[in-house]
């Protein structure tokens, strides 16, 4: 399965799609990236005159790349034409270290911990364009074809 196919199967669209590309993917891990656009709607109010990316959006970006893209890849043999998988985030735990500013590119690295009975649990981390740790944690979700 090509990375462009995986992205096309994501159940998101702009302005809530936080995946620009997948750099590598395997049965055990995925690495992808996203650049936060200067005009993202959430910057208007977070924070006044000092926009930073909300932690919930950083978590969503990590979930889209680190959980959903990897989950689609793991289910590739079960996917049929025009059938998009259903995804439900079941839990997450995240620690934040640095802010992400408008126009900043981030890289998400996710390693599969468990994939059993269509429940996927991953260890994820996000790095900024200076290769500094922005946040890290675990994300779990259920996948259904």
Query: CB 61: neighbour CB atoms within 10 A?
Result: 25
Alpha-carbon gap, residue 92 to 51, rounded angstroms: 25
Judge whether 92 counts as a catalytic residue: no
Rg from Cα positions in the chain:
15
At 129, is the secondary structure helix, strand, or coil? coil
**Dihedral, CA atoms, 93, 96, 101, 102, nearest 10 degrees?**
0
- CA nearest to 104, candidates 65, 131, 142: 131
In the set 46, 92, 119, 136, the catalytic residue is: 46
Active site members: 46
């Amino acid at each position: 399965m090509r990375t462009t196919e995986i992205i096309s199967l994501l159940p998101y669209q702009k302005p809530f799609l936080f995946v620009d590309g997948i750099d590598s993917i395997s049965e055990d891990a995925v690495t992808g990236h996203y650049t936060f656009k200067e005009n993202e709607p959430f910057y208007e109010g977070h924070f006044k005159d000092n926009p930073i990316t909300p932690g919930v959006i950083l978590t969503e970006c990590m979930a889209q790349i680190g959980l959903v893209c990897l989950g689609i890849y793991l289910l590739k043999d079960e996917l049929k034409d025009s059938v998009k998988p259903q995804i439900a985030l079941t839990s997450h735990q995240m620690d934040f270290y640095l802010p992400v500013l408008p126009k900043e590119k981030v890289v998400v690295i996710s390693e599969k911990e468990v994939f059993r009975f269509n429940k996927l649990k991953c260890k994820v981390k996000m790095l900024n364009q200076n290769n500094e740790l922005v946040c890290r944690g675990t994300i779990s979700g259920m996948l259904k074809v």
